[in-house]
Chain A
Amino acid sequence: MVVTKPAVEKPATAEELARRLHEAADAKLAVIPVGGGRASGMGNPVERADVLLHTTHLDRVIEHSQSDMVVSVEAGIALDALQAHLAKAGQFLPLDPFHSPGHTIGGLLATGWTGPLRFRYGSPRDFLIGIRVAMPDGKLASGGGRVVKNVSGYDMMKLHYGALGSLGVIVAASFKVFPKPLHDVTVANDGGWEAADEALSTPLAPSAVELSSDGRVLARFLGSPEAVDRVVSGLEWDEADSAVWEKHSRSGPEKWARIAIPRSGLRRIVETLPQRDRWWASPGVGVAHWAIGADSSVVRGIREKAEAAGGTLVMLAAPDDFMREVGAWGAAPPTIDIMRRLKKAFDPDGILNPGRYVV
């Protein structure tokens, strides 16, 4: 087999990106959209890769309206750069994905990766208010807008969020942003699941609760100072340096999976993970990340249990052979036919990420 190296394209504008994509589609070349590359291990190994279409030169803040608390950016901007920009106005995007730093906004939207703050703020699915996408036919289509509340037409943001670039390449996005909390305190405890439950049931709900396989629990409280201090003192845990969150967000093993499950069933599944393997979980959300040391049959077994409990196990990265053995996604959803029709409507020749996603 002759393997040629894929061409690398780094367009500087959305229009140019759309043009490149269209040219590739015309030539039936397989296109792999690339952002920061932090989630490049997600999905099945691609069947073909002719063009690597990087968004990293689309890295502008298009508009940040401080008083409206809305920001529009090009998709290739790094999350860290955007946060630094917003911080100058005392604002932030409540998104703290794992395997940081280096994620681009487009990559995070395409993969749907989130972090501990999801417990309080939800995922970008909840605060993404506008999107612009380049499609294989060369068109650029926008949905939503720059207002925080909008039901004008179909919710195209939902169509592309988490679709792994299968229907088009995200070139720009608008978000509702949030004020930096007045007070931000993190406390820690080694009490495992019970301690996590204790933090989750405090009267002022924490903004993030993370539990690790060593039994360590981190709880982060955001809000008005008096309220936060009262709840934190009631817990009687040790105060932790807020730098622990940055360290936590760097987690991104070579071989790992995300288990997502209705949260009341999370503990039961996580407790069946191999003793030696490291994991960390957001018990309030129902998500756990597993650094896989076991072999593929163990992963398949855990996936079966997760699916039986109404959840999923999705591989986030692994060597190609391992990924093929396990399969990135697990059982196809019962609505797979509708998803295939959507894929066909937007990418009729299947040139975007062939074989990588569910459709």
Chain B
Amino acid sequence: MLPKSVIEELRRIVGRESVIDAPNDLRIFERDGSIEGAMPDAVVLASSTEHVSAVIKVAARHHIPVVPRGAGTGLSGGAVTIRGGIALQVTRMRRILEIDQVAMTALVEPGVVNQELSLVAAQHGLFYAPDPSSQKACTIGGNAAENSGGPHCLYYGVTTNHVLGMEVVLADGSVHWVSGDAPDHVGLDLCGVLVGSEGTLCAITKIKVRLLRIPPSIATLLAAFTSIESASQAVSAVIGHGIVPAALEMMDNVTVGAVEAHYHAGYPTDAGAVLLVEVDGIAESTRELTAAISKILADNHGYAMREAQTPAERELLWAGRKGAIGALGRIKPNYYLHDGVVPRSRLPQVLSAVGEIGEHYKLPVANVFHAGDGNLHPNILFDLRDRDVLHQVEAAGEEMLRAVVELGGALSGEHGIGLEKSAFMPWIYSEDDLDAMHRVKDVFDAAGILNPGKIFPDPSRKPVHLAGRTGLAIEAKWW
């Protein structure tokens, strides 16, 4: 509970109706897309940079935690107010301020929905490349805070590669522009450090992003494989031939079954795994690449291959992939999704470990992931109404991440560390590594009011005791 006087201060900034503090109303801000929740003391609906700045000044003065929040679709607990305080909602800041067709850039407010930006940009023949599966709902501000990815990041790169500059509000309420349109800047790359900082260093109030020309030709291929192993082989073979497709996605048998039942996209339900491959460019190059990829997939035991013949068919194939997690609701009502990333060649090993862990805990696991990047997304499926299941789910997730790390991987490819993975950070970073990151945190937010309890391990929270399952020791760090 915040003191009444603080609530009044906040109301004077954003207006009476834009501060929520009734417990029942707060409940919808308790969670993001992950499984752990915590109630904020108040939600402030900001409409402008001035609002964000003034709210943070109040929070700084009273030492109240502030957690910037977009659409709340994040999957690592980044928007969860674990220490209470203010959830600073920016979804009312949703204007596309400018699209510059010549410079191929857009200036947007943080609450602009990812897909909306691409739809508007399409009127100019342009698109915004990072495309998280939640793009129908997630915001550009949230994407920048988390450095989000998406299927097409294999070729085009993740959010940080597309953010040119940002307007940010720091922990003292001061407003700054970092970087901008020029290709090089003088001084330290603050923009690069702030993208992906998960709301722990700043609140983002404007984002300048790069747009790309919509490719004139797109080809989307589907191929079935008898097993995840053989599909993984095919992925390595494609990349090994010097071809980097725009997207290279895999779904396992469990996922394909759920997706097909829901979308009727024509996925082969008997397959052990399905690959979705997309190439784009001019017609000549997509034709050549499609032929080359088809041959490689066939040589690697791909079957039931088909190419989307119409844009509608392509849309349907992608709807199945991007809606996969929702479709899994047919199996169990809840899911727990990790996004560890391994060197691509370790995919078969890590997936067999994931399967083993699922069996051990008697939990169904559905895999749907960015195979080209080595970024897995095991969905542990469960029913929250089952007694004690949550503990089992968390333990299984932890073991899966442990396997990822033992195989030389990282904790998160695109979802962020947030709340759920902070305890595992010492698996991949030494004390000195974390100390360097802490120095950055202290420079930006010495008082620790911005999204406290995230990224850095909090020893009081969660004991980490599980041994590995791959039989490998964690390699001596990175070097």
Chain A interfacial positions (CB closer than 8 Å to B): 14, 62, 65-70, 72, 90, 112, 118, 122, 125-126, 130, 132-133, 135, 139-159, 161-163, 166-167, 172, 174, 178-182, 203-205, 223-227, 230-231, 258, 260-264, 285-287, 310-312, 314, 329-336, 338-339, 341-342, 345-346, 358-359
> Which chain B residues border A70 with CB–CB below 8 Å?
343
Interface centre among B176, B344, B414, B439 (most CB of A within 10 A): B439
Which listed residue (A154, A172, A225) contacts B440, Cβ 8 A?
Answer: A154
Binds A, one of B18-26, B83-91, B181-189, B324-332: B181-189
Closest to B404 in A: A147
Q: Is the CB of A68 within 8 A of B345?
A: yes
Q: Is the CB of A68 within 8 A of B374?
A: yes
* Contacts A132-B479, A151-B413, A310-B180 supplied; 14 other A-B pairs, CB < 8 Å: A150-B412, A151-B414, A153-B429, A154-B196, A155-B147, A155-B192, A158-B193, A161-B192, A204-B285, A230-B282, A310-B181, A329-B186, A330-B186, A359-B188
| Complex alpha-carbon distance, A285 and B240, angstroms | 30
Q: Is the CB of A125 within 8 A of B192?
A: yes
Given contacts A140-B432, A149-B341, A311-B182, is CB(A161)–CB(B189) below 8 Å?
yes
Is B220 interfacial (CB-CB < 8 Å)?
no
Q: Is the CB of B182 within 8 A of A152?
A: no
Q: Is the CB of A147 within 8 A of B410?
A: yes
Question: Number of B interface residues, CB 8 Å?
Answer: 89
| Complex alpha-carbon distance, A202 and B146, angstroms | 35
> Which chain A residues border B187 with CB–CB below 8 Å?
329, 332-333, 335-336, 339, 358-359
| Complex alpha-carbon distance, A112 and B441, angstroms | 24
Given contacts A226-B287, A359-B187, is CB(A69)–CB(B146) below 8 Å?
no
> Which chain A residues border B213 with CB–CB below 8 Å?
205
Q: Is the CB of B181 within 8 A of A180?
A: no
Closest to B446 in A: A341
> Which chain A residues border B285 with CB–CB below 8 Å?
204, 223-224, 226-227
Which listed residue (B102, B178, B370, B455) contacts A153, Cβ 8 A?
Answer: B455
Query: When each residue 407-421 of chain B gets 1 if its CB lies under 8 Å from chain A and 0 otherwise, what string results?
Result: 011111111110001
Q: Is the CB of A72 within 8 A of B478?
A: yes
| Complex alpha-carbon distance, A264 and B452, angstroms | 42
Interface centre among B201, B284, B341 (most CB of A within 10 A): B284
Is B190 interfacial (CB-CB < 8 Å)?
yes
> Which chain B residues border A311 with CB–CB below 8 Å?
182
Closest to A312 in B: B186
Q: Is the CB of B180 within 8 A of A338?
A: no
Q: Is the CB of A345 within 8 A of B443?
A: yes
Closest to A229 in B: B284
Closest 5 CB pairs of A and B: A158-B192, A179-B242, A227-B285, A260-B184, A141-B436
Q: Is the CB of A260 within 8 A of B282?
A: no
| Complex alpha-carbon distance, A319 and B281, angstroms | 47
| Complex alpha-carbon distance, A260 and B408, angstroms | 38
Binds A, one of B45-53, B155-163, B257-265, B384-392: B155-163
Nearest CB on B from A231, distance (A): 7
Given contacts A149-B375, A224-B285, A226-B285, is CB(A286)–CB(B192) below 8 Å?
no
Q: Is the CB of A148 within 8 A of B190?
A: no
Given contacts A125-B192, A153-B429, A155-B147, is CB(A345)–CB(B415) below 8 Å?
no
| Complex alpha-carbon distance, A286 and B159, angstroms | 21
Q: Is the CB of B188 within 8 A of A339?
A: yes
Q: Is the CB of A142 within 8 A of B429?
A: yes
Query: When each residue 139-182 of chain B gets 1 if its CB lies under 8 Å from chain A and 0 otherwise, what string results?
Result: 00000001101000100011011000000001000001110111
Q: Is the CB of A149 within 8 A of B196?
A: no
Is B472 interfacial (CB-CB < 8 Å)?
no
Q: Is the CB of A139 within 8 A of B432?
A: yes
| Complex alpha-carbon distance, A149 and B247, angstroms | 14
Q: Is the CB of B193 within 8 A of A67?
A: no
Closest to B198 in A: A151
> Which chain A residues border B343 with CB–CB below 8 Å?
65, 68, 70, 146-147
| Complex alpha-carbon distance, A227 and B215, angstroms | 13
Q: Is the CB of A149 within 8 A of B158?
A: yes
> Which chain A residues border B120 with CB–CB below 8 Å?
none
Q: Is the CB of B345 within 8 A of A346?
A: no
Is B398 interfacial (CB-CB < 8 Å)?
no
Which listed residue (A145, A180, A227, A359) contacts B282, Cβ 8 A?
Answer: A227
> Which chain B residues border A130 with CB–CB below 8 Å?
478
| Complex alpha-carbon distance, A263 and B102, angstroms | 9
Q: Is the CB of A145 within 8 A of B146?
A: no
Is B313 interfacial (CB-CB < 8 Å)?
no
Is B442 interfacial (CB-CB < 8 Å)?
yes
| Complex alpha-carbon distance, A150 and B244, angstroms | 18
| Complex alpha-carbon distance, A330 and B184, angstroms | 13
Q: Is the CB of B188 within 8 A of A342?
A: yes
Is B97 interfacial (CB-CB < 8 Å)?
no
Interface centre among A147, A152, A182, A346 (most CB of B within 10 A): A152
Nearest CB on A from B164, distance (A): 9
Nearest CB on B from A148, distance (A): 5
| Complex alpha-carbon distance, A43 and B455, angstroms | 35
Q: Is the CB of B374 within 8 A of A155?
A: no
> Which chain B residues border A332 with CB–CB below 8 Å?
186-187
Nearest CB on B from A93, distance (A): 15
Given contacts A179-B244, A338-B190, is CB(A149)–CB(B153) below 8 Å?
yes
> Which chain B residues border A148 with CB–CB below 8 Å?
341, 344, 373-374
Closest to A153 in B: B437
Nearest CB on A from B415, distance (A): 7
Please, could you name 17 A-B residue pairs with CB atoms under 8 Å apart, sorted by A? A72-B479, A125-B189, A141-B432, A149-B414, A150-B341, A158-B195, A167-B188, A172-B479, A179-B239, A181-B242, A227-B281, A227-B282, A262-B180, A287-B183, A311-B182, A333-B186, A338-B444
Closest to A122 in B: B161
> Which chain A residues border B416 with CB–CB below 8 Å?
151
Which listed residue (B191, B281, B411) contacts A223, Cβ 8 A?
Answer: B281
Is B236 interfacial (CB-CB < 8 Å)?
yes
Is B17 interfacial (CB-CB < 8 Å)?
no
Closest to B415 in A: A151
Which listed residue (A204, A231, A314, A341) contacts B184, Cβ 8 A?
Answer: A314
